Structure 1
Amino acid sequence: MIREIEEQFTEEILTEAIKRFDINNDTVRSLGGYESFVYEYQKNNAFFILKISHTIRRSRYNIRGEIEFLNFLSNKGLAVSNAVPSTRGNMVEEIAAENGSFLAISYEMSLGKEVSDEDWNESLYEKWGEFLGKIHHATKGYEWSNPAFKRHAWDQEVQLKAEKYLRPDDVMISILKERLTKLTSLPKSKDTYGLTHTDFHQSNFYLHNGDIYLFDFDDCGYTYFVNDIGITLYYALSYPFKEFENKTEYYKLFFRHFMKGYLKENTIQEEEIVYLQDSIKLRHALLYIYFHQANDVSNLDEESMNWLKELQRVAASDDPMLPIDFVQEFKSIYNSIH
Structure 2
Amino acid sequence: MITIPNNVLTNLCDKLSVPAKSLKFLGGGREDSDGTVFTFGSNPLKVLKVLALPLSDTLSLAKLDDRLNFAHFVGESGIQVACPIKNKNGTLYESVPFGGHLFTAYLMDYCSGGTPMKDECTPAFYKEWGRVTGRMHRAAKSYPYWLTLPSCASSGLNGWQQETEMFYNWCKDEAVKQKWLQMQERLEQLPINREGFGFIHNDNHIHNITWNGRGITLLDFDVANCQFFISDLTTAMQMLLFDKSGGMIGEVTDYGVIRDFLESFLCGYEQESHLDDFWLSQIDTFISYRRLLLFTVMQDYLHRNQQLKEQFLDCIYNEPAIFSVYA
TM-score by length of 2: 0.83
2:86/2:92 contact within 8 Å kept: yes
Match of 2:184 in 1: 180
Match of 1:136 in 2: 137
2:244/2:257 contact within 8 Å kept: no
Partners in 1 of 2:169 and 2:221 — Cα distance?
Answer: 27
Partners in 1 of 2:175 and 2:227 — Cα distance?
Answer: 25
Judged with a 3 Å threshold, the aligned counterparts in structure 2 of structure 1 residues 30 and 45 are, in CA distance, closer, same or farther, namely same
Match of 1:91 in 2: 92
- Shift of residue 107, structure 1, vs aligned partner: 1.4
Match of 1:335 in 2: none
Judged with a 3 Å threshold, the aligned counterparts in structure 2 of structure 1 residues 291 and 159 are, in CA distance, closer, same or farther, namely farther
2:52 aligned with 1:54: yes
Query: RMSD of the alignment, in Å?
Result: 2.9
Match of 2:269 in 1: 262
- Shift of residue 295, structure 1, vs aligned partner: 5.3
Stretches of structure 2 lacking an aligned partner (at least 5 in a row): 246-252
Q: Using the aligned pairs only, state the percent identity.
A: 18
2:168 to 162, 166, 187: 162
1:196/1:228 contact within 8 Å kept: yes
TM-score by length of 1: 0.81
Q: 2:45 is matched by which residue type in structure 1?
A: F
Partners in 1 of 2:190 and 2:90 — Cα distance?
Answer: 42
Judged with a 3 Å threshold, the aligned counterparts in structure 2 of structure 1 residues 202 and 240 are, in CA distance, closer, same or farther, namely farther
Match of 2:235 in 1: 231
Partners in 1 of 2:74 and 2:99 — Cα distance?
Answer: 36
Q: Deviations for 1:72-111, whole angstroms, at most 9, x for unmatched residues?
A: 2223221112223445443211111222412212211113
2:72/2:85 contact within 8 Å kept: no
2:65 aligned with 1:40: no
Partners in 2 of 1:148 and 1:289 — Cα distance?
Answer: 24
Stretches of structure 1 lacking an aligned partner (at least 5 in a row): 329-338
Give the number of equivalent residue pairs: 309
Match of 1:333 in 2: none
Superposition pairs for residues 1-338 of structure 1, below 5 Å? 1=1, 6=2, 9-21=4-16, 22-33=18-29, 34-56=32-54, 59-144=60-145, 147-148=150-151, 153-157=159-163, 160-167=166-173, 170-208=174-212, 210-239=214-243, 247-292=254-299, 297=303, 300=304, 304-320=305-321, 322=322, 324-325=323-324, 328=327
Partners in 2 of 1:296 and 1:233 — Cα distance?
Answer: 22
1:95/1:103 contact within 8 Å kept: yes
Judged with a 3 Å threshold, the aligned counterparts in structure 2 of structure 1 residues 268 and 117 are, in CA distance, closer, same or farther, namely same
1:273/1:326 contact within 8 Å kept: no
